[in-house]
Structure formats: C-alpha cells, structure tokens
C-alpha cells in the first residue's frame, strides 16, 4: 500500500536529516512539521528534445526579425485541432443541489472535424481551414493559401510541432520555392506554441457542453463564425495567449 511505503520513506528521510520523530509520532505529524501536505497530482510534460535550447533560441531569433520589420518578416504559430459532434464535459453554472450540467451526447457516430490554424504572433490574426481531415496534400494547400494572405512579406516563418504530415517530402519540396520557412518546435513542448491557448478558448466558449449534438452542420457553422471573427488584427487574442502584455 502507498501509505505504509510513504511512512518508511519518511522515516528514512527523517533519520538522514536528523529530524527523528518521537517513539509514537505518526508520519503525518512529522510531515506537518515540515509543511508537507498530501496533494493531488497534475499532468506534466517535460520536453525530451536534446535540441530544445537550440530550437527555442531560433524561435527567439525569428521574433527579433519580426520586431525589426513586421511587414517583411512574419511569424505564425501553427497547429491543428480535432473537435467532435458530441460535446465535451466541463464545468458550468447550475442551481445548487441540482443535477450536474449535462453534455448531451445524442445518438449516432461521434463525427469529427479538423481545423488547421495559423496565429500571427505580431497582429493576432488567425487564419483557419476546416476540413474532414488534413493529409499532407491538404496541409500543403493550406500553407499555400496562408502565404497568399501575406503578399508584402519577404519571409514567412511558421512555427509548428512534429506531426509527421509536416515532414512529408513533397510538402518540404514545394515550400523550397515559397516564402515560407518551417520552424520546428522542440518535441513535446506545447507551451512554446501560443495557438494552443486559442484552441482552449474555442473549447471553453463553443465546444464544451455545446447543444449541437444532433445538429452537426450547425456546430460546424458556429465554429466557423467563431474562427472568422479573428481573421483580422486581434490584440485581444494576443493578450489572451500571452503574446501582448496588458
């Protein structure tokens, strides 16, 4: 059992530190003396990428180029999100003592939809496509469409994760003749990609506990409306994701 094991570990630690408990002092009292409490765990990811510092430094270098000339140099944070016909369970307000808020699942297959998005690190503009799936050919067409939205740019740096579709040879080959440079983020480092917080905002405002489980087309249109509102300079979105100080 966990607690007896913890007791033995605490006893060994206490003996090594000279903080010996009394003959009948339980482990929890000893822990309390050192301000140690029982806590629930939390999800945690540590990037195992050996080139973490190098990749993070490259991202900072690109950002410095953008600050010098934000018209000629553009930095976009890119990512994909999958959402579903069935709503996700989340917290919501309800009458005290009543039944918990319901994520009504409806009936039938839990159809999914993919979004690819690019967040402009300087303006907050969000450019998104919705598709049933994103294979490497669709992804390439999306990047080409994004490039077309920045006709005055000389260089478009797109920071993105290590999803295999991003590495496809025909994608990389096609981009050789474009203004786009892919800046790959360290593996398992979502905190370096602010568009992750855009997806969080979308989930909180639309997808969690939504009421469209039997109206799949309506849900897609509602998501599209939400995305389109940020297809413009959006300082409010930049503040939300932490790229613009208050």
Q: pLDDT per residue over 4-17, tens digit each?
A: 445 555 555 555 55
Tell me the pLDDT of the chain (246 aa) as tens digits. Answer: 444 445 555 555 555 555 555 555 677 777 777 788 888 888 888 899 999 999 999 999 999 999 999 999 999 999 999 999 888 888 878 788 777 888 888 777 889 999 999 999 999 999 999 999 999 999 999 999 999 999 999 999 999 999 999 999 999 999 999 999 999 999 999 999 999 999 999 999 999 988 988 899 999 999 999 999 999 999 999 999 999 987
Check: CB of residue 147 under 8 Å from CB of residue 178: yes
Give the Cα separation of 214 and 108 in Å (integer): 9
**What local confidence, expressed as pLDDT, does residue 3 receive?**
47
How far from each other are the two terminal CA atoms of the chain, in whole angstroms? 49
Looking up tokens 């918990």 gives: 100
Give the position of tokens 């469409």: 145
Displacement of CA 201 from its chain's centroid (Å)? 10
Predicted TM-score (pTM) of this structure: 0.83
Question: What letters, b where the CB count within 10 A reaches 16 and e where it falls short, cover 106-134?
Answer: eeeeeeebebbbbbbbbbbbbbbbbeeeb
- DSSP class of residue 34 equals T
Assess contact for 231 and 127: CB atoms under 8 A.
yes
Q: Is residue 160 within 8 Å of residue 185, measured between CB atoms?
A: yes
Please report which residue ranges of 83-215 form alpha helices under DSSP H: 136-148, 169-175, 195-202
Question: What is the distance between the alpha carbons of residues 4 and 50, in angstroms, rounded to a whole number?
Answer: 38
Query: Bridge-partner residues for 113, per DSSP?
Result: 83
């Amino acid at each position: 059992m966990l607690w007896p094991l913890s007791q033995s570990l605490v006893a060994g630690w206490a003996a090594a530190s000279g903080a010996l408990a009394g003959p009948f002092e339980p482990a929890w009292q000893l822990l309390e003396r050192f301000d140690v409490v029982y806590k629930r765990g939390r999800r945690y990811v540590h990037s195992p990428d050996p080139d973490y510092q190098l990749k993070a430094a490259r991202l900072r270098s690109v950002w410095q180029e953008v600050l010098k000339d934000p018209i000629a140099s553009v930095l976009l944070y890119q990512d994909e999100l999958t959402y579903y016909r069935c709503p996700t369970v989340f917290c919501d307000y309800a009458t005290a003592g009543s039944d918990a808020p319901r994520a009504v699942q409806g009936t039938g297959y839990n159809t999914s939809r993919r979004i690819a998005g690019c967040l402009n690190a300087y303006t907050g503009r969000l450019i998104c496509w919705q598709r049933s799936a994103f294979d490497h050919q669709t992804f390439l067409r999306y990047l080409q469409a994004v490039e077309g939205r920045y006709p005055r740019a000389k260089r478009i740096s797109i920071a993105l994760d290590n999803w295999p579709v991003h590495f496809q040879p025909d994608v990389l080959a096609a981009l050789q003749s474009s203004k786009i440079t892919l800046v790959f983020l360290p593996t398992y480092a979502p905190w370096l990609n602010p568009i992750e917080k855009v997806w969080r905002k979308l989930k909180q405002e639309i997808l969690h506990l939504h009421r469209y489980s039997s109206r799949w087309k309506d849900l897609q249109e509602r998501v599209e409306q939400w995305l389109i509102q940020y297809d413009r300079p959006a300082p409010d979105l930049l503040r939300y994701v932490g790229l613009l100080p208050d």
